[in-house]
Amino acid sequence: MRKFFGILFLAGIFALTACGPSQKEQAAEQARLDSIAEVEEQVRIDSIQAAQAAARAAAAAAAAAETKQDQVQEPTRPARRGETTTTKEQEVERPARRGETKEKEEGEEESRPARRGS
């Protein structure tokens, strides 16, 4: 009885290994997986291209809106009496007040304070 179960066990092992996928089936499965991977890669590339095109279109629209806004400027009203308008170019340097420090420019040396008292 023991020999019979041993032989039956070996026959079962051989039957299971013989029923596995053949080389043709493995090749067909690999080809199917490769085609799926190729399609997924193409979808990814198409998605990237679509996103880049949308970004370019948005940038072009923003640039067009900016140039249109630059062309249409609000008219400036004339200055009223007593109003002063200064810009950086028109700004005049005023003398430093007591306790106020003047920023040093390049090449300027720091001056020593004058002595007071005796």
pTM value is 0.40
pLDDT at 68: 76
Q: Is the pLDDT of residue 33 over 80?
A: yes
- Residue 57 belongs to what domain range? 22-68
Reading the block at residue 118, the tokens are 């005796």
Question: Residue 36: inside a domain, yes or no?
Answer: yes
Question: Residue 87: inside a domain, yes or no?
Answer: no
Q: How confident is the model over 48-67, as pLDDT tens digits?
A: 999 999 999 999 999 888 88
Question: Residue 62: inside a domain, yes or no?
Answer: yes
Q: What is the rounded CA–CA span in Å between residue 80 and residue 1?
A: 121
Question: Residue 27: inside a domain, yes or no?
Answer: yes
Q: What is the rounded CA–CA span in Å between residue 90 and residue 54?
A: 44
Q: How confident is the model over 6-19, as pLDDT tens digits?
A: 999 999 888 887 77
Question: Residue 44: inside a domain, yes or no?
Answer: yes
Task: Tell me the pLDDT of the chain averaged across its residues.
Answer: 78
Domain count, the chain: 1
